[in-house]
Amino acid sequence: MTQQLPPQGLKISDSEVFDLNMSWRGLRINTMCNALSDPVNREACKADEEAFMARFELTEAEKDLVRARDFAGLLAAGGNIYFLIKLGVVTGNGLYRMGASMRGETHEQFLATRNDSGAV
């Protein structure tokens, strides 16, 4: 089988490539976020976020990232953006709020850069 990517450390425009190593690093985060596909789990997370994180055995550092809604940090910790969006929605941080956070902007500043400034 042909290897698709060169060895570890590949960067694309200052972005990390989500590879197998990153996938393993973010397994707990991604498993927890993916569980939010189930309405019962969404309610459990909203009711007691600490207990919900404990269910998935997040490390203290990972829990701190979730508590801070540090989506850039969660990505760096191995979080997959497609799973992190589930966490964003449950915590009231939809895609545009996540984007603003990752760019260090307010939601309003971020919206001003979008084609439709009324989008949320």
What average pLDDT does this structure show over 21-40? 93
Q: Is the domain 18-93 a CATH 3.90.320.10 member?
A: no
| CA-wise closest residue to 69 among 94, 48, 44, 36 | 94
- What pLDDT is attached to residue 66? 97
CA distance 53 to 7: 32
Q: What is the mean pLDDT of the chain?
A: 86
pLDDT digits (tens, 9 = 90+) for 31-55: 999 999 999 999 999 999 999 999 9
Distance, C-alpha 104 to centroid of its chain: 15
- What pLDDT is attached to residue 65? 97
> Which stretches within the chain are classed as H helix?
20-25, 27-35, 39-47, 49-55, 60-67, 71-76, 81-90, 95-103, 107-112
- What pLDDT is attached to residue 57? 97
What average pLDDT does this structure show over 91-100? 91
Query: What pTM did the predictor assign?
Result: 0.79
Domain ranges of the chain: 18-93
